[in-house]
Structure 1
Amino acid sequence: MRAVRYILAGAMLCLGTAGFAATNTSNNNGFRYKWKDTSGHSYFSDSLTPEAMMAGYDVVNSQGVTVRHVDRQMTADERAAAKKIADQKAAAMQVEQQRQRDDAQMLNAYPNEASFMTAKNAELENFEQATRTTRLNLQGQEKALADLLTRAGDLERAKQPVPGYLTQRISEQRNTVASLRATLQRQQVAKDAAKVKIDAQLQHYRQLKAANGG
């Protein structure tokens, strides 16, 4: 029975010694934590406290030298604002990278200004061809509308009723003419915008060629 007690006492002594060693290691790792509150008062601690994490802290070695600084924890609003800024920077970087790719592609596609203008003039010709086609169609539809109106006018002057089908045709023809006029206007606006864009592209192309020694 006495032998059992000795064994148990020895086991407890070993456990106590191990626990002390573990505690001593965690509390004597050679580092302390230093931080300041909102009033500027400094605090030191052997362990990292919630107050230190909220304020931001310095890790100090056994010689009192700061070896690392850790910023304070951000609030939810601050984290959201930081994420928004990071997302904006990432988006701006993507735009810049795409612009660089586009510039490189432009220089590769057009070795000189003559080739550039040949391609751009072809683009403008497409716009011009579309407006010419619409304009000719509009002229034909306007003439058809004028003929219908003349027929209706002749009947009215002859004191004869205008048939319903003719009235319907006139209404439909007016809608056709109005639609074509709107289309022609949109095409003209698009052509003018293309001219402005091409002028800007030409200036940019010249700048790229100059920057690349071209």
Structure 2
Amino acid sequence: MKRNITLIAVVALIVMVAAAAVSQTGMRKMFRGNGDNNRNFVVMENNAQLQSTLAKTSSFDISADIRLDSIQDGASLELNVQLGTLSTGNSSYDMEVFSSRFIDWKGASTANFRLLDFTVSRNYALENEKAVPATGRGVLTIGSIIDTVGVDVSIRYLAANDVTLGRLPGDLLHLNGAINFRLSSFGIEIPQEALLRMDDKVKLRFDVYCSTQM
């Protein structure tokens, strides 16, 4: 009798552990996105004393691996932006902005950002259709130079339904945020005479819908 009870207890424990493992796996989701649907964009924002410059691109890819019950628990976020495709919408101004007069990427073709961690003060859970603000830090690579930078992002989980299917298939993750860095940290020096029109501080903004089925 005792042997049967022990066997039942062991089986019950195995079932509980397996169920917990399945539950934990189900809470973590991988999302991917890019600019191919003409709705997702990355914008470089520069606000100097005399003017502001916005340069946009849809040539990027982004991925996020997040636990829905705790975004701090081992979250990953990676963004790759093709720098040569950033455009202000004015080809003549583009030639001026992305030159030795202002921003010279020095041959770098891609900006790569990888999240290190979220530094919010609590373990936020993602509830369907509710945006959660988060602050974190990550590693930004431009050319051969790497620097640790800050990121602010609003994260909103959208379970698949008839409305979301009109945008993308699968569950969605809406990421709206900004990576903050200094050009000088990557060896890009704004000429002294241009500092009133172009600031050393830059924001790389992203407003992207990612999907579990991309």
- TM-score > 0.5, shorter chain as reference: no
Give the TM-score of the pair, scaled to structure 2.
0.23
Give the TM-score of the pair, scaled to structure 1.
0.23
| Structure with bigger gyration radius | 1
Give the strand-richer structure, 1 or 2.
Answer: 2
Higher relative contact order (CA 8 A, sep 6+): 2
